[in-house]
Amino acid sequence: MSRPIWKGAISFGLVHIPVELHSASSSAGIDLDLLDKRDFAPVGYRRYNKVTGKEVKQQDIVKGYAYEKDEYVVLTDEDLRRANPESTQTIDILSFIDTSDIPVFFFEQPYYLVPGKGGEKVYALLRQTLERSGKLALGQVVIRTKQHLAALMPFQDVVVLNLLRYQEEIRELPEITQPKAGKQSQVSAKEIDMALSLVKDMSERWEPAQYQDTFRQDILKLVKKKVKAKQTHTLTEPADEGEENTAIKSSNVVDLMQLLKASIGDKTMRAANTKEGGSKAASPKTAGKASASKAATKAADPARKRSA
């Protein structure tokens, strides 16, 4: 059982629900240590006093707010809690809104909200109300030293709290270069229909377990390969800037319709492969990718000849 990172209550109207906040995600990336390339010794992280230059132990470190240059007000966790006890211990629900109203890039970090002692019934009431209404609860919560906007959403038997970014944290939309005027640069209705056919062909149910971090696996394979070849201290230099990926270089001259048709793949061939044999049969996704790859190579050939 995970340990709660926050304890408090959900509050809306006269309803008060004791809850605990548990992390709902974990990082599975590759941990890379910093090394000194001269002798490959680990580079440490040192906390030191900027006046004396001496190292400071963890138990001697406190937090402070600089109200003037080099002048600080020391603030302990208890100070932060007492500044506004209600906001630091309560998820204050402000309103209920449609989930579709919030653009996906506002969502930042998920957490599980579980009921505290004595709050099981009211918690179940909130979860079922959110589920039946099809809405999420929008509120605010203080975690550590920051107040967050939060969305409470039902998921199976629990309520998930998603921290949201504030509007001020969202950057302006980048400028997108529009296609130039002219028949060749405009997307045709036929191309859109073909793209929609590809979307339909590749559509499937959401099964998160089938997706894995293949990049992480590839890095671990590379590490194993370098160890086996006794190249643990070999520094691989970057490729010349002039060497560009051929597929990227020729992407502007590839026939879009040809790629779309090839991506959809030959359904007759897939059916024949499936009929021939179980595990060896190509999936629609695999067959589509293979056909698209061949088409890209074929379409890129003229570009290579012209650039040679």
What are the structural domains, with CATH classification, of the chain? 6-24+80-167 (2.40.290.10), 187-196+245-308 (no CATH)
Task: Name which of 200, 209, 191 is nearest 285 in CA terms.
Answer: 200
Q: How far is CA 79 from CA 7, 277, 307, in A?
A: 17, 69, 68
Whole-number Å distance between alpha carbons of 196 and 252: 21
Smallest CA-to-CA distance from 1 within 32, 23, 27 is with 23
The pLDDT, as a whole number, for residue 104 is 92
Question: Positive or negative CA dihedral for 88, 94, 96, 97?
Answer: negative
Tell me the pLDDT of the chain averaged across its residues.
79
Among residues 147, 64, 139, the alpha carbon closest in space to that of 95 is found at 139
Q: Give the per-residue pLDDT at 269.
A: 52
Residue 249 has pLDDT above 70, yes or no: no
Give the per-residue pLDDT at 241: 59
Phi, psi angle pair for 47, to nearest 5°: -95, 125
**Does the pLDDT value for residue 139 go beyond 90?**
yes
- Asked if 191 and 179 count as a contact pair (C-beta separation under 8 A), the reply is no
Cβ neighbourhood burial of 246 (10 Å; 0-12, 13-18, 19+):
middle
Residue 98: strand, helix, or coil: strand
For residues 277 and 101, which has the higher predicted lDDT (pLDDT)?
A: 101
Tell me the range of 176-180, 265-269, 288-292, 295-299 where mean pLDDT is highest: 176-180
Mean pLDDT of 177-198: 78
Contacts of 208 (CB under 8 A, 6+ apart): none
pLDDT above 90 covers what percent of the chain?
28
Range picked from 22-26, 114-118, 197-201, 234-238 for highest mean pLDDT = 114-118
Three-class DSSP category at 125: helix
Contact 139, 152 (CB under 8 A): yes
Q: Which of 51-55, 190-194, 298-302 has the lowest mean pLDDT?
A: 298-302
CA distance 107 to 166: 10
Nearest in space to 30 (alpha carbons), one of 223, 210, 238, 211? 223
Record the pTM.
0.65
Lookup: tokens for 86: 């209600």
Q: Comparing 307 with 190, which gets the higher pLDDT?
A: 190
Q: Is the pLDDT of residue 54 over 70?
A: yes
pLDDT value at 88 more than 80? no
Say yes or no to pLDDT of 149 above 90: yes
Instruction: Report residue 166 as tokens.
Output: 């504030």
Position of tokens 């370098």? 226
Contact call for residues 96 and 86 (beta carbons, < 8 A)? no
Residue 41, helix vs strand vs coil: strand
Calculate the CA dihedral of residues 244, 250, 252, 254 and round it to 10 degrees: -150
Q: What is the DSSP letter of 241?
A: T
Q: Name the residue with higher pLDDT: 90 or 252.
A: 90
Residue that wins the pLDDT comparison between 50 and 282: 50
